[in-house]
Copies of this chain bind each other. A is one copy, B any other.
Amino acid sequence: MADRSTIYEVAKRSGVSTATVSRVMADGKGFSATTRDRVLAIAAELSWVPSGQARGLASRRSGIVGLLFPDLGRSGEAEEESPLYVDQVIRGAERSATSVGDAVLIAATRSESGRELAFSIAGKVDGLVVMARSLPDDDIAAISRCVPVVMLANTPSSGGLDFVGADNRGGARQITTHLITQHGHTSLAFLGGPPESPDSQDRFAGFRDALRAAGLTVPRRPAATGGFTEAGGQQAVTAMLGAGRLPGAIVCGNDEMAIGALAALRAARVRVPASVAVTGFDDIAASRHMRPALSTVHQPMRELGERSVRVLLERIAEPGRPPGSVVLPTQVVIRGSCGCRGQAAAAANGSRP
């Protein structure tokens, strides 16, 4: 239970110095096979594992990277959740950290704690990846002064930091274009997420790109906005319904909103995609299972996580190099809700790192 033994005990019992024990545990060189086996045996016998704290202190590397993501509750007791895709990002981050023997520390920043928590984390890790909307810009700036930081899906206003993101704008443009050219829609509405979300902004920009390219009227703002949640989508569409003006196609800021939109439409007995087409963004697990299945833009959430910790590790290894920016491609995936029948082909949408 209690990790009482130390390297000194192990050293004494195996008749070597602590330096040797240390080297054996580090898988290094400079000792014989017999010595190694002996040390390992004693360590097992004592069920000793080297203290990560002490190791970290001495070698000034904790072997831990941190991942900060937003838990967007209305700070009240309402249980609004972070978008589902952070789960995938977490998995991705875990994966690339583990692959190099590091571990990942996760923390959701809730409005109250935020700053404090972030600093406590910062002291424990070798570096931090910070997801969009988890921290105000000045806090990020402060943190990045004590520990390497890479921004995930959040263009750093401060600049000077590494960035990893997905091609939101291109994806939104493509799926909107699909709606226009393949299905002949001319009346399209964009359902935006939180206005301060850079993802939402970029997607809206892509939406506008497509309309502009098609010579349609380009709106200045989303037809409606709401949280990136089912409830948000549902309310927005219910409002549209109430106002009596439904577009031919609704391009949603993310899948969860699209799912909410679908629910509102079903409740109003509006047929999808016959009367109105709906598309999402993200390609979360549930979108495949809707009826109609959701046409959406696949965002490489797992890769986003993997890539961001990879970039972070590179920066830790080489602190001097200039900050870079990698944009991962998104991919539109066509299912039923846009009007295509059945599963159709997917179009790729590349962009260079």
Contact = CB atoms under 8 A, between A and B. Distances in A.
Interface of A: 1-3, 44, 47-57, 60, 62-64, 66, 81-82, 84, 87, 90-91, 94-95, 98, 101, 103-108, 110, 113, 117, 119-125, 142, 144-148, 259, 285-286, 288-291, 319
Copies of this subunit: 2
24 contacts: A1-B148, A1-B319, A44-B142, A48-B146, A49-B122, A49-B147, A51-B123, A52-B62, A53-B57, A53-B60, A53-B124, A82-B91, A87-B91, A94-B106, A94-B107, A98-B108, A103-B107, A104-B105, A104-B106, A285-B285, A286-B288, A289-B289, A289-B290, A290-B291
Nearest to A148: B1
Nearest to A62: B53
A147 B51 CA distance: 11
A124 B1 contact: no
Given A144-B1, A145-B47, A113 B90 contact: no
Given A90-B90, A285-B84, A95 B120 contact: no
B259 A289 contact: yes
A282 to B, nearest CB: 13
Contacts of A63: 120, 124
A117 B110 CA distance: 30
A44 B54 CA distance: 26
B106 A90 contact: yes
Contacts of A117: 98, 101
Contacts of A3: 146-147
A113 B142 contact: no
